[in-house]
Structure 1
Amino acid sequence: MRATRVAAGVIGVVMVATGCGSSSSDEPSSAETRADVADVVEDVEPVVEDEPEEDELAVEPIGVGESAEWEIPEEDEYGDVVEGGTPAVMRVTLDAAEWVGASAEHGTSGSPDGEWLRLDLTVSNVGDAGDGTFSPYGLMYWESETHAAQDVGTLHMPAGADVDTTYRPGQSVSGGIVLDVPERDGVVSYVWNLFGGAVGFAVEVPE
């Protein structure tokens, strides 16, 4: 539609340049008029539609020993993002990923719907200001090339330190979470903001 408006503008220039009525020796010749119009057309910038931005939410899965970072915007007492506020910068390092069975050590019992995948993580707030939270319960999702994303839950917490907590700048905790993953394929992701679909980190499911 914008290209159409530009074309109309050029037509208007032609009409003004050619005009109507009797001719005069002071009026420009047809050749001069065509040259002036050509200059105007050259000066009109082509209309280029904005290219779609890359998916900012997409993250590369991390492997054992690798880390991922994301920012949590500062919010006011009403939960609204503070314009120009200082975000918390969270970092997760994957220390280990393994399939486990039922045991008190892993905090598992009974039978899973799929298989239990234990992720050992080190969670840190590496920002200069602002508290950040890591709350995997209900925010861990699994998907594969053939299966759409679904909540895999975090119903089991292994013995030891609890990574599900609030972190002040400089604080960190190493601990584990156990997910009920449908199959040994695909990727599990931590979606820290469900409303915005913001992914903090992703881990490729081991074979």
Structure 2
Amino acid sequence: MRPSIRVATFVTGALVTAALATGCSSSSNAPGAAPAASEKAVEGKAADAAAKPSEAPVKTPLVAVGKSGTYTADDSATHAKAKMSITLKSVKYVSPSEINTTNRPKGQYAVLTLTVKNVDTANEGGFHPYGLMKWEDGRTAEQEASTLETTDTGQDVDATYRPGQIVTGDVVLDVPRKGGKVNFYDGLEAASLSFELPAK
């Protein structure tokens, strides 16, 4: 092979090798370069998240007289969860003498008769209303409604219930006025249940 042909062949081979190397090693950082597959996947997930509507807040069940509602009791020590059912049997507005107390309410005493049942099949669950019952209506923000008052009827509903256990008893509240609703908080977030109080 003549020297001029060898040089031409060598130069042509070098140019082809250089062209192939440049085409295969385009960097994703180069201006105008297409994004890598992993970058496309991240961008796709971000777009999907932005397209999804935000989750609606959990709505607290409102229990009227004669009706029942359920909530999940969460044991603060063991974190065991149990499904509990509460029936609002009745609501009665009373005077201090009707519950044998000389303590004057700030507003109006209301006696809620409740049936509490553990409807879970495995775990114990508690119902502990003291300090966790708050009253509100359309014009007044939540107010603490718990009292230490008791009645002479029924059993003590403030208890820990094994699966299947049930108790009916009274909770005496001090509410600013008749009507509105009482929110029961089993945890620190949204109310677990709300009880609708009659206006009369």
Same-fold call, TM > 0.5? yes
C-alpha distance in 2 between matches for 1:47 and 1:164? 47
- Aligned-pair identity (%): 34
Which residue of structure 2 lines up, in the alignment, with residue 88 of structure 1? Answer: 82
C-alpha distance in 1 between matches for 2:75 and 2:170? 27
Question: What amino acid does structure 2 have at the position aligned with 1:203?
Answer: F
Could you say which structure has the larger radius of gyration? Answer: 2
Unaligned runs of 5+ residues in structure 1 are: 1-11, 18-39
Structure 2 residue 195 is the aligned partner of structure 1 residue 203:
yes
Which residue of structure 2 lines up, in the alignment, with residue 176 of structure 1? Answer: 170
TM-score for both structures, normalised by structure 1:
0.68
Which residue of structure 2 lines up, in the alignment, with residue 185 of structure 1? Answer: 179
C-alpha distance in 1 between matches for 2:64 and 2:175? 17
Deviation at residue 70 of structure 1 after TM alignment: 0.9
Contact 2:75 2:125 survives alignment (8 Å): no
Contact 2:65 2:196 survives alignment (8 Å): no
Which residue of structure 2 lines up, in the alignment, with residue 5 of structure 1? Answer: none
C-alpha distance in 1 between matches for 2:88 and 2:60? 15
Contact 2:61 2:192 survives alignment (8 Å): no
Number of paired residues?
162
Structure 2 residue 42 is the aligned partner of structure 1 residue 61:
no
Alignment of 1:20-169 (within 5 A): 46-49=47-50, 50-56=52-58, 58-73=59-74, 79=77, 81=79, 87-103=81-97, 106-160=99-153, 161-169=155-163
Question: What amino acid does structure 2 have at the position aligned with 1:54?
Answer: A
C-alpha distance in 2 between matches for 1:13 and 1:63? 67
Decide whether aligned partners of structure 1 residues 16 and 138 sit closer, same or farther in structure 2, where only a CA change above 3 A counts.
closer
Question: What amino acid does structure 2 have at the position aligned with 1:189?
Answer: N
**SS of structure 2 residue aligned to 1:90:** strand
Which residue of structure 1 lines up, in the alignment, with residue 22 of structure 2? Answer: none
Contact 1:68 1:200 survives alignment (8 Å): no
Contact 1:124 1:171 survives alignment (8 Å): yes
Deviation at residue 48 of structure 1 after TM alignment: 4.7
For residues 80-133 of structure 1, the C-alpha deviation after alignment (integer angstroms, 9 at most, x for no partner) is: 53xxx6x211110010012111235x3543321000111000001010011111
For residues 147-175 of structure 1, the C-alpha deviation after alignment (integer angstroms, 9 at most, x for no partner) is: 21121113212113111111100100000
Question: What amino acid does structure 2 have at the position aligned with 1:204?
Answer: E
Structure 2 residue 33 is the aligned partner of structure 1 residue 16:
yes
Q: Which has the higher helix share?
A: 2
Unaligned runs of 5+ residues in structure 2 are: 1-28, 35-39
Which residue of structure 2 lines up, in the alignment, with residue 23 of structure 1? Answer: none
Report the RMSD for the aligned CA atoms in angstroms: 2.6
C-alpha distance in 2 between matches for 1:142 and 1:165? 22
C-alpha distance in 1 between matches for 2:62 and 2:30? 56
TM-score for both structures, normalised by structure 2:
0.70
**SS of structure 2 residue aligned to 1:103:** helix
C-alpha distance in 1 between matches for 2:131 and 2:100? 17
**SS of structure 2 residue aligned to 1:203:** strand
C-alpha distance in 2 between matches for 1:13 and 1:103? 86
Which residue of structure 2 lines up, in the alignment, with residue 4 of structure 1? Answer: none
Decide whether aligned partners of structure 1 residues 128 and 107 sit closer, same or farther in structure 2, where only a CA change above 3 A counts.
farther
